[in-house]
Structure 1
Amino acid sequence: MHVKVLDDSVVDRAKARGLDALVYAPHFTRLPTIRERADRFSDDELLVVPAREVFTGPWHARRHLLAVGLDDPVPDFVTFEGALHAFDRQDAAVLVPHPEMLNVSCSREDVADRPGAVHAVETYNAKCLPHQNRRCRAVARETGHPGFGSSYAHLRRTVGEAWTVFETDVDSEDALVAALRSGAPRRVVHRGGPGHRLQGLAEFAHLGYENTWGKLDRLFLSGTEPTHPSHIAYDGRFDDVAVY
């Protein structure tokens, strides 16, 4: 349900693990680029669905939202409500990845206060530590939202460590969006054993790289970065909800 990497080895690994689809949502990449790459790696055996994990709010208190089924690009670092409004206009499926994880997540209150705007909450993330996944499940349970599971793979070897099994056929982007928005029955599944735990730890360690201020220094300074709300591609449409 959520990978950050996509190439021939990722596709081969997904097929070897028996997956039918991947949701591809790399950081700081505009939707047209994601969609083109997803189309390039889709075939009769594996559907690759383009999506955006949008960073809402300022860097130090950002809340991630995963939107599936977008037609028009939505930038990072807009307000939480501004992102939700943009998703709603497009009838996208809106998912909450890794709730209450560090300073990069929606809180229980964020989810509970917007029952019609959110369609699923992640209940298992291969990157999360066990106590974090327990908290994710509690958020979904206490807010009454369906769950989903994902590898959240930033590293190729994590693909296929966790996945979501729907009881309905998901053979297109539209079918996935419909299943998510309707709360279609599903199961969240993950691998086990020492290898799974070690790969999860490798992913968690990767967080240190993701969240360094050094990386921030390379992003969001000039307004020319691909998903900065001031980028010319957005034609000023998000100026009223931009936080940078």
Structure 2
Amino acid sequence: MTRSRTRVDAHVKVLDDDVVALAKERGIDALVYAPHFTRLTTVRERAARYADDDLTIVPGREVFTGDWGNRRHLLVVGLDEPVPDYITFEAAMAEFDRQEAAVLVPHPGFATISLTRPEIAAHAERLAAVETYNTKLLPHQNARTRRIAEVTDQPGFGSSYAHLPGTVGEAWTEFDGDLDDADAVVDAFREERPRTVVHRGGVGHQLRGLVEFAHLGYENTWEKLDRLFLSGDEPTLPTNVVYEGRFNDVSVYSGTLSDYRPK
């Protein structure tokens, strides 16, 4: 008898009709949708719009902790209440603990935006998994992520980390059993259920990864943040009215737009 499995592309930034069609074509059963600088309510609404019986969409947040020059990204699923970007790492982790959310470590050890091996080791009991394959990373960087997971004794996960629609389904986390909805996927991570990290191969996969890696130049520029924040909405800054002042005392900036600009 064939054992059932559930394929989860555990981190994507894009979601539309083309993304959904490609995910299904590539045999993906669930996507974790966690766009940058987007409120949890907005993520949930968009996830609900595109989910159907054949593709589960799990709302997630990639929270930026710390300041722009020394930020640590945390991929979080299972949140009940919104958590802003640019608060201290410990404040963010305390809030995730309070909500019993599953905290995943994306692209560990990468540049100045990721948890380091000592940080992962120090917080191991508070983490649900460490990314061991990310399509956007280069081969030597993915080899490093696997070593980090091994030495810190953390479960792995894999994702396309798709910022571009054509990358969705290039890598995934394959769990034993049927995970029928978003809550089941969150529970699988939270409970550290058995899984395998899988990715596509061949020249096409390698080229797709290089295109995504090149896209980092845009993703990490202030020009992009200007386009997000100059609207005046500033949706995930801790001083936004949606957070009702709960995070003002743990914000790493004073709250004006100019204070968020890298020096």
Q: Calculate the TM-score normalised by the size of structure 2.
A: 0.90
Name the structure 1 match of 2:156: 147
Q: Which has the higher contact order (CA 8 A, sep 6+)?
A: 2
Name the structure 1 match of 2:172: 163
Name the structure 1 match of 2:26: 17
User: How many residues in Structure 1 have an aligned counterpart in Structure 2?
Assistant: 244
Identity %: 66
Picking from 14, 17, 38, the partner of 1:8 is 17
Name the structure 2 match of 1:204: 213
- Which 4+ runs in 1 deviate beyond 6 A? none
**1:151–1:158: 8 Å Cα contact kept in structure 2?**
yes
In 1, Cα distance between equivalents of 2:211 and 2:83: 30
Q: Can you list the C-alpha shifts for 1:107-129, whole angstroms capped at 9, x where unaligned?
A: 01111001111110000000000
**1:127–1:204: 8 Å Cα contact kept in structure 2?**
yes
Aligned ranges 1:229-244 → 2 under 5 Å: 229-244=238-253
- The yes-or-no answer on 1:184 pairing with 2:193 is yes
SS at match of 1:37: helix
SS at match of 1:100: coil
**1:39–1:48: 8 Å Cα contact kept in structure 2?**
yes
SS at match of 1:197: helix
In 1, Cα distance between equivalents of 2:191 and 2:204: 35
Tell me whether 222-231 or 144-153 shows the greater mean CA deviation: 222-231
Aligned letter for 2:242? A
Root mean square deviation of aligned Cα = 1.3
Aligned ranges 1:50-65 → 2 under 5 Å: 50-65=59-74
Name the structure 2 match of 1:70: 79
Picking from 46, 49, 65, the partner of 1:37 is 46
**1:224–1:232: 8 Å Cα contact kept in structure 2?**
no
Q: Calculate the TM-score normalised by the size of structure 1.
A: 0.97
1:241 is displaced (CA, Å) by 1.1
Distance 1:80 1:223, change over 3 A: farther
- Gapped runs of 5+ residues in structure 2? 1-9, 254-263
Name the structure 2 match of 1:174: 183
Q: Can you list the C-alpha shifts for 1:175-216, whole angstroms capped at 9, x where unaligned?
A: 112111111000000011110000000000010001112223
Aligned letter for 2:161? Y
- The yes-or-no answer on 1:132 pairing with 2:131 is no
Aligned letter for 1:175? A
In 1, Cα distance between equivalents of 2:113 and 2:245: 26
Picking from 27, 49, 58, the partner of 2:58 is 49
Name the structure 1 match of 2:224: 215
In 1, Cα distance between equivalents of 2:231 and 2:246: 18
Aligned letter for 1:50? P
